[in-house]
């Protein structure tokens, strides 16, 4: 019984923590009413590793981590989409990256383009993007050795991730979710994204259930 109560406490605490780190534009409904397709672009990553690596090798690792998050988000949305959980479609990331490459937009220069420019090139209604600061290679996995107190307190921080959605027409930020990365957030990139997005599910603006709840509150 005590174990069940402790488990419930952990789940509630994590969910409340996730909600505190979420921002949603007060005009979200108006700005997103015509949204049908969103594109996920590679995440911009900053690695601060203990290893002394050549600058070009470090850049390659940062790019790899950025694409790993892009792929993990696509996997998560694809699974949820099969259950008809979302009100929008998500552009295939292979198509996204191909269209960017055709315009000579690379991981190194994508940040100089505006949201409106990227949406025009990709022919989508909005962009899912983000940033990561890491002191480990998340794609290779988070160290698994930890004590019970580490799990409970969330010690050993490995960085931070921020996921945001921006509107293509106005370029405005619609939604943002930030979270620290530690031993209890996930053992690798896919696990991290899966866990953090599940915590934010009822706060994800394109979730059909959330949209129904929002409409009910207006009646």
Question: Above pLDDT 90, what percent of the chain?
Answer: 49
What does the pLDDT read at residue 12? 43
Q: Looking at residue 82, what is its pLDDT?
A: 73
pTM, entire model: 0.80
Q: Are 95 and 123 in contact (CB under 8 A)?
A: no
Angle at 147 between CA 144 and CA 152, to 5 degrees: 100
What are the pLDDT digits (tens) for 58-105?
899 999 999 999 999 999 998 887 776 788 999 999 999 999 999 999
Spatial distance between the Cα atoms of 200 and 210, rounded to a whole number of angstroms? 11
User: Which segment, 33-42, 181-190, 191-200, is predicted with the most confidence on average?
Assistant: 33-42
- Judged against a pLDDT cut of 70, whether residue 140 lies above it is answered with yes
* pLDDT band (50, 70, 90) for residue 142: low
Give me the CATH code for the 22-218 domain, please: 3.40.50.10610
- Is residue 30 within 8 A of residue 116, CB to CB? The reply is no
User: Which residues are CB-contacts of 172 (< 8 A; sequence separation ≥ 6)?
Assistant: 25, 31, 166
Query: Tokens for 51?
Result: 């290893």
Most confident of 14-28, 35-49, 77-91: 35-49
The residue ranges of every structural domain in the chain are 22-218
Q: Name the nearest CA neighbour of 44 among 126, 122, 127, 119.
A: 127
């Amino acid at each position: 019984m005590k174990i069940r109560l402790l488990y419930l406490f952990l789940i509630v605490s994590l969910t409340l923590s996730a909600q505190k780190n979420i921002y949603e534009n007060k005009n979200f409904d108006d700005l997103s009413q015509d949204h049908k397709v969103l594109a996920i672009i590679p995440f911009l990553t900053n690695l601060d590793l203990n290893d002394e690596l050549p600058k070009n090798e470090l850049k390659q690792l940062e790019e790899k981590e950025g694409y790993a998050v892009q792929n993990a988000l696509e996997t998560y949305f694809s699974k949820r989409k099969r259950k008809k959980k979302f009100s929008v479609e998500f552009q295939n990331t292979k198509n996204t990256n191909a269209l960017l490459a055709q315009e000579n937009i690379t991981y190194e220069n994508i940040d100089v383009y505006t949201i409106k420019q990227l949406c025009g090139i990709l022919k989508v209604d909005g962009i899912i993007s983000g940033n990561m600061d890491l002191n480990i290679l998340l794609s290779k996995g988070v160290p698994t050795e930890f004590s019970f107190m580490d799990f409970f307190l969330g010690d050993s921080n490995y960085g931070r991730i921020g996921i945001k959605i921006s509107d293509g027409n106005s370029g405005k930020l619609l939604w943002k979710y930030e979270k620290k990365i530690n031993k209890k957030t996930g053992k690798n990139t896919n696990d991290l994204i899966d866990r953090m997005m599940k915590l934010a599910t009822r706060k994800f603006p394109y979730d059909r259930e959330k949209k129904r709840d929002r409409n009910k509150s207006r009646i």
